Protein backbone atom coordinates (compact mmCIF):
# COMPACT_ATOMS: atom_id res chain seq x y z
CA UNK A 1 0.00 0.00 0.00
CA UNK A 2 1.12 3.54 -0.76
CA UNK A 3 0.96 6.31 1.88
CA UNK A 4 -2.27 7.42 0.16
CA UNK A 5 -3.80 3.96 0.62
CA UNK A 6 -3.50 2.74 -2.98
CA UNK A 7 -2.76 -0.95 -3.50
CA UNK A 8 0.22 -1.38 -5.82
CA UNK A 9 0.35 -5.17 -5.82
CA UNK A 10 1.11 -8.27 -3.82
CA UNK A 11 4.50 -9.55 -2.72
CA UNK A 12 4.53 -13.36 -2.98
CA UNK A 13 7.07 -15.81 -1.59
CA UNK A 14 6.87 -19.33 -3.08
CA UNK A 15 8.72 -22.47 -2.07
CA UNK A 16 8.61 -26.09 -3.22
CA UNK A 17 7.63 -27.42 0.21
CA UNK A 18 5.12 -26.10 2.79
CA UNK A 19 6.69 -24.09 5.60
CA UNK A 20 5.83 -21.56 8.27
CA UNK A 21 7.55 -18.18 8.06
CA UNK A 22 9.52 -17.13 11.12
CA UNK A 23 8.92 -13.68 12.68
CA UNK A 24 12.30 -12.56 11.35
CA UNK A 25 11.35 -13.61 7.80
CA UNK A 26 8.03 -11.76 8.06
CA UNK A 27 9.84 -8.61 9.19
CA UNK A 28 12.30 -8.99 6.31
CA UNK A 29 9.46 -9.30 3.79
CA UNK A 30 7.76 -6.21 5.24
CA UNK A 31 11.02 -4.27 4.93
CA UNK A 32 11.44 -5.48 1.36
CA UNK A 33 7.88 -4.46 0.47
CA UNK A 34 8.45 -0.96 1.87
CA UNK A 35 11.59 -0.61 -0.24
CA UNK A 36 9.72 -1.75 -3.35
CA UNK A 37 6.94 0.77 -2.64
CA UNK A 38 9.50 3.54 -2.15
CA UNK A 39 11.15 2.72 -5.48
CA UNK A 40 7.81 2.63 -7.30
CA UNK A 41 6.75 5.93 -5.74
CA UNK A 42 10.06 7.50 -6.68
CA UNK A 43 9.72 6.32 -10.29
CA UNK A 44 6.12 7.60 -10.43
CA UNK A 45 7.10 11.03 -9.07
CA UNK A 46 10.06 11.26 -11.44
CA UNK A 47 7.88 10.47 -14.47
CA UNK A 48 5.33 13.04 -13.30
CA UNK A 49 8.05 15.68 -12.91
CA UNK A 50 9.44 14.87 -16.37
CA UNK A 51 6.00 15.29 -17.92
CA UNK A 52 5.54 18.66 -16.22
CA UNK A 53 9.02 19.79 -17.26
CA UNK A 54 8.41 18.75 -20.87
CA UNK A 55 5.11 20.66 -21.04
CA UNK A 56 6.66 23.77 -19.46
CA UNK A 57 9.64 23.63 -21.82
CA UNK A 58 7.38 23.30 -24.85
CA UNK A 59 5.29 26.25 -23.65
CA UNK A 60 8.42 28.37 -23.22
CA UNK A 61 9.70 27.40 -26.67
CA UNK A 62 6.32 28.24 -28.24
CA UNK A 63 6.36 31.59 -26.46
CA UNK A 64 9.88 32.38 -27.65
CA UNK A 65 8.97 31.46 -31.20
CA UNK A 66 5.83 33.64 -31.15
CA UNK A 67 7.61 36.61 -29.59
CA UNK A 68 10.50 36.30 -32.04
CA UNK A 69 8.10 36.46 -34.98
CA UNK A 70 6.39 39.51 -33.48
CA UNK A 71 9.72 41.27 -32.87
CA UNK A 72 11.18 40.65 -36.31
CA UNK A 73 8.69 42.81 -38.24
CA UNK A 74 9.24 46.09 -36.34
CA UNK A 75 12.99 45.49 -36.29
CA UNK A 76 13.05 45.17 -40.06
CA UNK A 77 10.99 48.35 -40.39
CA UNK A 78 13.36 50.19 -38.05
CA UNK A 79 16.37 48.97 -39.99
CA UNK A 80 14.86 50.25 -43.24
CA UNK A 81 14.17 53.66 -41.71
CA UNK A 82 17.70 53.96 -40.31
CA UNK A 83 19.23 53.05 -43.67
CA UNK A 84 17.03 55.66 -45.37
CA UNK A 85 18.10 58.38 -42.93
CA UNK A 86 21.79 57.46 -43.23
CA UNK A 87 21.42 57.40 -47.01
CA UNK A 88 20.18 60.99 -47.05
CA UNK A 89 16.56 60.25 -47.96
CA UNK A 90 15.37 62.83 -45.41
CA UNK A 91 18.10 65.39 -46.00
CA UNK A 92 21.65 65.83 -44.77
CA UNK A 93 22.60 65.04 -41.17
CA UNK A 94 25.52 66.14 -39.02
CA UNK A 95 28.55 63.90 -38.45
CA UNK A 96 27.59 63.49 -34.78
CA UNK A 97 24.06 62.48 -35.67
CA UNK A 98 25.38 60.09 -38.32
CA UNK A 99 27.68 58.42 -35.80
CA UNK A 100 24.80 57.95 -33.34
CA UNK A 101 22.54 56.55 -36.06
CA UNK A 102 25.27 54.13 -37.19
CA UNK A 103 25.49 52.84 -33.61
CA UNK A 104 21.70 52.45 -33.56
CA UNK A 105 21.83 50.62 -36.87
CA UNK A 106 24.46 48.22 -35.51
CA UNK A 107 22.39 47.61 -32.36
CA UNK A 108 19.37 46.96 -34.55
CA UNK A 109 21.38 44.48 -36.61
CA UNK A 110 22.58 42.66 -33.48
CA UNK A 111 19.05 42.43 -32.10
CA UNK A 112 17.70 41.20 -35.43
CA UNK A 113 20.45 38.57 -35.49
CA UNK A 114 19.38 37.44 -32.00
CA UNK A 115 15.73 37.19 -33.05
CA UNK A 116 16.62 35.21 -36.17
CA UNK A 117 18.79 32.88 -34.08
CA UNK A 118 15.90 32.31 -31.69
CA UNK A 119 13.68 31.47 -34.64
CA UNK A 120 16.28 29.06 -36.04
CA UNK A 121 16.67 27.34 -32.66
CA UNK A 122 12.90 27.05 -32.28
CA UNK A 123 12.62 25.67 -35.83
CA UNK A 124 15.13 22.91 -35.12
CA UNK A 125 13.33 21.99 -31.91
CA UNK A 126 9.89 21.92 -33.52
CA UNK A 127 10.84 20.22 -36.79
CA UNK A 128 12.25 17.00 -35.38
CA UNK A 129 13.99 15.14 -38.19
CA UNK A 130 13.66 18.21 -40.39
CA UNK A 131 14.60 17.65 -44.00
CA UNK A 132 17.76 19.21 -45.39
CA UNK A 133 18.25 20.51 -48.91
CA UNK A 134 21.36 18.44 -49.55
CA UNK A 135 23.80 19.23 -52.34
CA UNK A 136 27.55 19.03 -52.88
CA UNK A 137 29.10 21.53 -50.48
CA UNK A 138 31.24 24.19 -52.17
CA UNK A 139 33.69 25.23 -49.45
CA UNK A 140 35.04 28.20 -51.39
CA UNK A 141 31.56 29.71 -51.65
CA UNK A 142 30.85 28.99 -47.98
CA UNK A 143 34.12 30.52 -46.69
CA UNK A 144 34.13 33.60 -48.92
CA UNK A 145 30.49 34.40 -48.19
CA UNK A 146 31.10 34.10 -44.44
CA UNK A 147 34.16 36.37 -44.63
CA UNK A 148 32.36 39.05 -46.63
CA UNK A 149 29.34 39.05 -44.33
CA UNK A 150 31.46 39.20 -41.18
CA UNK A 151 33.57 42.05 -42.54
CA UNK A 152 30.58 44.40 -42.72
CA UNK A 153 30.74 45.18 -39.00
CA UNK A 154 34.51 44.69 -38.63
CA UNK A 155 36.15 47.73 -37.03
CA UNK A 156 39.56 46.51 -35.89
CA UNK A 157 42.41 45.56 -38.22
CA UNK A 158 42.24 41.83 -38.66
CA UNK A 159 43.59 39.32 -41.17
CA UNK A 160 41.29 36.47 -42.12
CA UNK A 161 42.66 33.55 -44.09
CA UNK A 162 41.10 30.40 -45.44
CA UNK A 163 42.64 27.19 -46.70
CA UNK A 164 41.06 24.51 -48.89
CA UNK A 165 43.09 21.50 -50.09
CA UNK A 166 43.12 20.67 -53.78
CA UNK A 167 41.40 17.34 -53.14
CA UNK A 168 38.62 16.75 -50.64
CA UNK A 169 36.03 14.01 -50.17
CA UNK A 170 32.73 14.92 -51.76
CA UNK A 171 30.44 15.84 -48.88
CA UNK A 172 26.75 16.56 -49.14
CA UNK A 173 24.80 18.92 -46.92
CA UNK A 174 22.46 21.88 -46.78
CA UNK A 175 24.80 24.66 -47.94
CA UNK A 176 22.75 27.46 -46.37
CA UNK A 177 22.73 25.67 -43.02
CA UNK A 178 26.46 24.91 -43.10
CA UNK A 179 27.04 28.52 -44.17
CA UNK A 180 25.22 29.54 -40.97
CA UNK A 181 27.54 27.36 -38.87
CA UNK A 182 30.71 28.81 -40.43
CA UNK A 183 29.26 32.32 -40.14
CA UNK A 184 28.52 31.92 -36.42
CA UNK A 185 31.94 30.44 -35.67
CA UNK A 186 33.67 33.18 -37.67
CA UNK A 187 31.68 35.95 -35.96
CA UNK A 188 32.55 34.39 -32.62
CA UNK A 189 36.26 34.34 -33.52
CA UNK A 190 36.27 37.94 -34.76
CA UNK A 191 34.64 39.23 -31.57
CA UNK A 192 37.39 37.85 -29.33
CA UNK A 193 40.42 38.38 -31.59
CA UNK A 194 43.07 40.94 -30.70
CA UNK A 195 43.83 44.07 -32.71
CA UNK A 196 46.00 43.22 -35.73
CA UNK A 197 45.28 39.57 -35.01
CA UNK A 198 44.44 36.73 -37.35
CA UNK A 199 41.51 34.38 -37.80
CA UNK A 200 41.89 31.32 -39.98
CA UNK A 201 39.36 28.99 -41.58
CA UNK A 202 40.33 25.58 -42.88
CA UNK A 203 38.67 22.46 -44.19
CA UNK A 204 40.66 19.22 -44.07
CA UNK A 205 40.05 15.71 -45.29
CA UNK A 206 39.27 12.90 -42.85
CA UNK A 207 39.41 10.31 -45.60
CA UNK A 208 36.45 7.97 -45.56
CA UNK A 209 35.15 9.72 -42.45
CA UNK A 210 34.43 12.98 -44.29
CA UNK A 211 35.85 16.44 -43.58
CA UNK A 212 36.77 18.61 -40.61
CA UNK A 213 36.22 22.38 -40.64
CA UNK A 214 38.20 24.55 -38.20
CA UNK A 215 37.99 28.22 -37.22
CA UNK A 216 40.92 29.49 -35.16
CA UNK A 217 41.23 32.80 -33.29
CA UNK A 218 43.95 34.43 -31.19
CA UNK A 219 41.60 35.48 -28.39
CA UNK A 220 41.87 34.88 -24.63
CA UNK A 221 41.13 31.16 -24.83
CA UNK A 222 38.61 29.13 -22.86
CA UNK A 223 39.00 27.50 -19.45
CA UNK A 224 38.76 23.67 -19.48
CA UNK A 225 35.71 23.63 -17.19
CA UNK A 226 33.78 25.83 -19.63
CA UNK A 227 34.38 23.85 -22.82
CA UNK A 228 31.75 21.16 -22.27
CA UNK A 229 29.00 23.70 -21.57
CA UNK A 230 29.63 26.00 -24.54
CA UNK A 231 27.31 24.25 -26.98
CA UNK A 232 24.29 24.37 -24.68
CA UNK A 233 21.66 27.11 -24.92
CA UNK A 234 22.36 30.48 -23.26
CA UNK A 235 25.89 29.49 -22.22
CA UNK A 236 28.88 31.78 -22.82
CA UNK A 237 32.53 31.51 -21.90
CA UNK A 238 34.25 34.30 -20.04
CA UNK A 239 35.58 36.89 -22.46
CA UNK A 240 33.03 35.89 -25.13
CA UNK A 241 30.13 38.13 -24.11
CA UNK A 242 27.93 40.49 -26.14
CA UNK A 243 25.74 37.72 -27.52
CA UNK A 244 22.97 35.48 -26.24
CA UNK A 245 24.90 32.24 -26.07
CA UNK A 246 22.57 30.70 -28.66
CA UNK A 247 24.87 30.85 -31.68
CA UNK A 248 27.02 27.89 -30.67
CA UNK A 249 23.94 25.96 -29.58
CA UNK A 250 22.43 26.52 -33.02
CA UNK A 251 25.69 25.35 -34.61
CA UNK A 252 25.44 22.12 -32.65
CA UNK A 253 21.85 21.58 -33.77
CA UNK A 254 22.72 22.07 -37.44
CA UNK A 255 25.86 19.91 -37.34
CA UNK A 256 24.09 17.09 -35.51
CA UNK A 257 21.23 17.26 -38.04
CA UNK A 258 23.95 16.49 -40.63
CA UNK A 259 25.15 13.54 -38.49
CA UNK A 260 28.36 15.40 -37.67
CA UNK A 261 30.12 16.40 -34.46
CA UNK A 262 31.26 19.77 -33.08
CA UNK A 263 33.79 20.79 -30.45
CA UNK A 264 36.50 23.21 -29.36
CA UNK A 265 40.19 23.01 -28.52
CA UNK A 266 41.60 25.87 -26.46
CA UNK A 267 44.42 26.97 -24.18
CA UNK A 268 44.05 30.01 -21.95
CA UNK A 269 45.99 32.92 -23.37
CA UNK A 270 46.66 31.19 -26.69
CA UNK A 271 43.32 31.35 -28.52
CA UNK A 272 40.77 28.73 -29.50
CA UNK A 273 39.96 26.45 -32.40
CA UNK A 274 36.29 25.64 -32.95
CA UNK A 275 35.73 22.71 -35.28
CA UNK A 276 33.01 20.51 -36.71
CA UNK A 277 33.03 17.35 -38.80
CA UNK A 278 30.71 16.19 -41.56
CA UNK A 279 30.53 12.59 -42.78
CA UNK A 280 30.50 11.36 -46.36
CA UNK A 281 26.76 10.93 -46.71
CA UNK A 282 25.22 7.88 -48.31
CA UNK A 283 22.90 10.36 -49.99
CA UNK A 284 25.64 10.98 -52.58
CA UNK A 285 24.46 7.91 -54.47
CA UNK A 286 21.32 9.87 -55.35
CA UNK A 287 23.29 12.60 -57.13
CA UNK A 288 25.04 12.63 -60.48
CA UNK A 289 28.57 13.39 -59.33
CA UNK A 290 31.58 12.48 -61.43
CA UNK A 291 34.57 13.79 -59.43
CA UNK A 292 35.50 15.59 -56.20
CA UNK A 293 35.55 19.35 -56.07
CA UNK A 294 38.90 20.83 -57.09
CA UNK A 295 39.33 24.21 -55.40
CA UNK A 296 42.18 26.72 -54.96
CA UNK A 297 44.47 25.79 -52.11
CA UNK A 298 44.59 29.08 -50.25
CA UNK A 299 43.39 32.67 -50.32
CA UNK A 300 44.00 35.56 -47.94
CA UNK A 301 41.69 38.44 -47.05
CA UNK A 302 43.19 41.46 -45.27
CA UNK A 303 40.30 43.26 -43.63
CA UNK A 304 40.63 46.71 -42.08
CA UNK A 305 38.41 49.59 -41.11
CA UNK A 306 38.32 52.51 -43.52
CA UNK A 307 36.38 55.72 -43.89
CA UNK A 308 33.62 53.55 -45.35
CA UNK A 309 33.04 50.82 -42.73
CA UNK A 310 30.76 48.81 -45.02
CA UNK A 311 33.40 48.47 -47.72
CA UNK A 312 35.53 45.34 -47.82
CA UNK A 313 39.11 45.65 -48.94
CA UNK A 314 40.41 42.35 -50.30
CA UNK A 315 43.99 41.56 -51.21
CA UNK A 316 44.26 38.05 -52.61
CA UNK A 317 47.33 35.99 -53.22
CA UNK A 318 48.10 32.30 -53.43
CA UNK A 319 50.18 30.83 -50.64
CA UNK A 320 53.33 28.86 -51.16
**pLDDT reading at 174 higher than 60:** yes
Helix (H, G, I), strand (E, B) or coil at 136: strand
Which has the closest alpha carbon to 231: 201, 255, 215? Answer: 255
**Percent of the chain, pLDDT > 90?**
14
| CA distances in angstroms from 99 to 152, 156, 309, listed in the order given | 16, 17, 12
134-303 CATH:
3.30.565.10
Whether 190 contacts 301, CB under 8 Å: no
Q: What is the per-residue pLDDT for 153?
A: 53
Which has the closest alpha carbon to 110: 144, 143, 71, 142? Answer: 71
pLDDT digits (tens, 9 = 90+) for 28-55: 878 887 777 777 777 777 777 767 666 6
* 109 Cα distance to chain centroid: 19
pLDDT digits (tens, 9 = 90+) for 71-85: 777 777 888 888 888
Whether 242 contacts 114, CB under 8 Å: no
Q: Is the pLDDT higher at 154 or at 148?
A: 148
The Cα–Cα gap between 121 and 293 comes to 31
Q: What is the per-residue pLDDT for 52?
A: 66
Neighbours of 215 (CB within 10 A): 27
The Cα–Cα gap between 104 and 83 comes to 10
Neighbours of 55 (CB within 10 A): 10
The Cα–Cα gap between 241 and 236 comes to 7
172-174 and 134-136 strand pairing: antiparallel
The Cα–Cα gap between 310 and 308 comes to 6
**pLDDT reading at 100 higher than 70:** yes
In what side-by-side order are the strands of the sheet with 211-217?
A: 261-266, 272-278, 211-217, 197-205, 158-163, 298-303
Cα-only R_g, the chain: 28
pLDDT digits (tens, 9 = 90+) for 259-314: 899 999 988 888 899 999 999 864 543 433 333 333 334 444 444 333 333 334 44
- pLDDT, mean of residues 122-141: 72
Helix (H, G, I), strand (E, B) or coil at 210: coil
The Cα–Cα gap between 187 and 219 comes to 12
Average model confidence (pLDDT) across the chain = 74
**pLDDT reading at 242 higher than 50:** no
First to last CA, the chain: 79
Whether 211 contacts 204, CB under 8 Å: yes
Neighbours of 4 (CB within 10 A): 6
Amino acid sequence: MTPEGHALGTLCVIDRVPRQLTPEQVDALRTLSRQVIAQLELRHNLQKLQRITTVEREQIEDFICAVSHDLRTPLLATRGTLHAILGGAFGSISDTCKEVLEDCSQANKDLLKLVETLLDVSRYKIEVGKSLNCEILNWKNIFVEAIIRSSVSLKQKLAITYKIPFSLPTVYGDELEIQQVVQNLLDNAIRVSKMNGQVSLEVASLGVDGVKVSVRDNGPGIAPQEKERLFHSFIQARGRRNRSGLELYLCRQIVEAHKGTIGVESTLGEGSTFWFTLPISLEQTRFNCHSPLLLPQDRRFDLQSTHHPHQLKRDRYASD
